[in-house]
Structure 1
Amino acid sequence: MTAKRVPSVGRMARVFVYGTLKKGQPNYSYMINSANGTARFQGRGLTVEKYPLVIAGKYNIPYLLYKPGTGHHVTGEIYSVDDQMLQFLDEFEGCPHMYQRTPMRIEVVEWESKSSAPEERPAVNSVLECYVYSTSTYQPEWINLPYYDNYDSFGEHRLEYVLRERRD
């Protein structure tokens, strides 16, 4: 009997992004750069369980704190990624020290991918397992920061993300 890779479709893994890697956000270019591997946008979703999504540190980085049951149902985007992109994302996210790649249950809000066969298209409100970069290695005071349900670097919080190349 072979071990099953939890959130995968064929040879692709499902990843849920909620922060700077979403469309329109500062690091989205990494998701569409084929030099990093393949990432295919599939749709939008939200975490089945509530989590605290905070913006922390002097670079205003979004963190999904691994504290299930606290916070909000966090919205984001679902991608199918190949092994090369998954490895890139692990390195980009500082996995496993800064973030940990954890399987989480994600509710499908909207499915756009036309490439999958009809029987592979999940119904709206169905639940998928996706990898999510969350952290259990956060500063204790972060739990007291404001919680968000939808991250936008350019939001009303005025905590714009500082790109890596602009950091001191």
Structure 2
Amino acid sequence: MTHIFVYGTLKKGQPNYDRMLNTANGRAQFIGRARTIEKYPLVIAGKYNIPFLLNIPGQGQRVQGEVYIVDDKMLKFLDWFESCPQMYQRSRVQLEMEECVGEGEDTPNMGNSFEAFTYSTNTHKPEWLQNPTFESYDSHGEHGLRYVTREARDMH
């Protein structure tokens, strides 16, 4: 089982959350909310308004997201879904647990730091560094940059 930190469209209430619930993709168990220990630029970019965590530690904000324990099947699905390693790279990130719902040896304690995988990118366009950074992503946020789903893209 692997810890995964999601900060964008895979979070609860976001456009791709249903993919985390689809057991055909594998198993994902929500264990809580966390925040990155280091600051990272979380930007919304491209013509489809995709959230990107730029792998530039020390810039941006401490990003909030959700932590899941996933099985190997879900990890393979997420690698495919996130176009890893072409668009995103699966990288390790240090997190601080802010809210726990899970219990057991796989669940970090509140306030403790721990490591999880996330999907960040090293292959960003330089102009993305001019974009506003976000602490927490919401497709329906005040920024007005509504995420365009894969299904909607395929219709064009």
CA distance in structure 2 between the partners assigned to 1:122 and 1:60 by the alignment = 32
- Cross-structure match for 1:4: none
| 1:160 and 2:146 are equivalent in the alignment | yes
Q: Secondary structure at the match of 2:97?
A: strand
CA distance in structure 2 between the partners assigned to 1:122 and 1:163 by the alignment = 32
- Cross-structure match for 2:31: 42
- Same amino acid, percent of matched pairs: 56
CA distance in structure 2 between the partners assigned to 1:58 and 1:47 by the alignment = 27
Q: TM-score, normalised by structure 1?
A: 0.90
| 1:23 and 2:9 are equivalent in the alignment | no
Q: Give matches, 1:5-154, under 5 Å.
A: 12-114=1-103, 116=104, 120-154=106-140
Instruction: Name the amino acid aligned to 2:7.
Output: Y
Partner deviation per Cα, 1:47-104 (whole Å, 9 max, x = no partner): 0100000000010000000000000000000000000000000000000010000011
Instruction: Report deviation, 1:157.
Output: 0.2
Residue pair 2:31, 2:107 contacting (<8 A) in 1 also: no
CA RMSD of aligned residues (A): 0.9
Partner deviation per Cα, 1:9-48 (whole Å, 9 max, x = no partner): xxx0000000000000000000000000000000000001
Higher deviation after alignment, 121-130 or 151-160: 121-130
Instruction: Report deviation, 1:124.
Output: 1.2
- Cross-structure match for 1:7: none
- Cross-structure match for 1:3: none
Instruction: Name the amino acid aligned to 2:18.
Output: S
Instruction: Name the amino acid aligned to 1:80.
Output: I
Runs of 4+ in 1 over 3 A off after TM superposition: none
Larger Rg: 1
Residue pair 2:97, 2:112 contacting (<8 A) in 1 also: yes
Q: TM-score, normalised by structure 2?
A: 0.96
